Amino acid sequence: MKTYLPDKNVAIIFILIMIAWVGAWNIWLALSNNFEFSSIATTGFIYWTVAKIIIWILPALWLMQKTDCKIGEIFRVSSWRKCLTWGIGLGGVLVLTSIGGRYFNNNLSIPNPISFAFVNAIIIAPIFEEFLMRGAIMKALRKNHKFVLVNSVTAVLFVILHFPGWYYTGTLLSNLSSVTGGALTIFVIGWLCGLATEKGETVIAGIIVHTLNNLI
């Protein structure tokens, strides 16, 4: 008989991830203040990519092992039609919403595609964040609870995952109080990524939604 990791241990894992993530921010600030880098963009990209692998991906893999969840189960490709339908469909809604909001705010600028920030936004962040949140954590909680509850909890955790970055860049309060573009928006995006993952039967659908949202 297989035993799955209790919910409280999933919570403990997330807390440890947050502690490590705060530590990563403190280390980065210390390095930035005490050393001169020839290219801060290149160094930052490498540092944060490695940090995410250690702090997010490794614990996610451990959680998957403890909950008897396989990589192939999370990145299922057999239901690719559902994956594309839900991923592109929900992602398209976010894209159109973003374009509409920018149009009314007279801000239709397009991000620079030749930059580490852009690569992180459309490749690294969607894959790593969705693998951790919807692939490992949501999948673990889903074994014992209904989807709506699990997806809502995971979306809240997804918002909390952004707290350290907001705090250390001085935008925490503004993001928490903002009606658009802040915590509420991140929650909605996270919820839609979870919905796409559930209905598309693969985290790839959630990654598509996340990527399309970050693209604009």
Q: What is the pLDDT of residue 38?
A: 78
Q: What is the pLDDT of residue 1?
A: 45
Q: CB 28: neighbour CB atoms within 10 A?
A: 16
pLDDT in tens, the chain (216 residues): 455 566 888 889 999 999 999 999 999 999 998 888 878 889 999 999 999 999 999 999 999 988 888 999 999 999 899 999 999 999 999 999 888 876 666 666 666 667 888 899 999 999 999 999 999 999 999 988 999 999 999 999 999 999 999 999 999 999 999 888 899 999 999 999 999 999 999 999 999 999 999 987
Q: Are 184 and 178 contacting, i.e. CB atoms less than 8 angstroms apart? A: yes
Q: What is the pLDDT of residue 99?
A: 84
Spatial CA neighbour of 127 closest among 45, 195, 210, 187:
210
**Widest CA span of the chain, in angstroms?**
59
Q: CB 86: neighbour CB atoms within 10 A?
A: 24
Q: Give the 3-state DSSP-derived string for the chain, with helices as H, strands as E and coil as C.
A: CCCCCCHHHHHHHHHHHHHHHHHHHHHHHHHHHHCCCCCHHHHHHHHHHHHHHHHHHHHHHHHHHHCCCCHHHHCCCCCHHHHHHHHHHHHHHHHHHHHHHHHHCCCCCCCCCCCHHHHHHHHHHHHHHHHHHHHHHHHHHHCCCCHHHHHHHHHHHHHHHCHHHHHHCCCHHHHHHCCCCCHHHHHHHHHHHHHHHHHHCCHHHHHHHHHHHHHC
Q: What is the pLDDT of residue 37?
A: 82
Q: Are 165 and 90 contacting, i.e. CB atoms less than 8 angstroms apart? A: no
Q: What is the pLDDT of residue 100?
A: 81
| Residue type for position 87 | G
Q: What is the pLDDT of residue 149?
A: 96
Phi then psi dihedrals of residue 107, to 5 deg: -135, 90
Phi then psi dihedrals of residue 106, to 5 deg: 55, 40
Q: Judge if pTM exceeds 0.75.
A: yes
| Domain parsing of the chain, residue ranges | 7-215
Q: What is the pLDDT of residue 180?
A: 84
| Residue type for position 100 | G
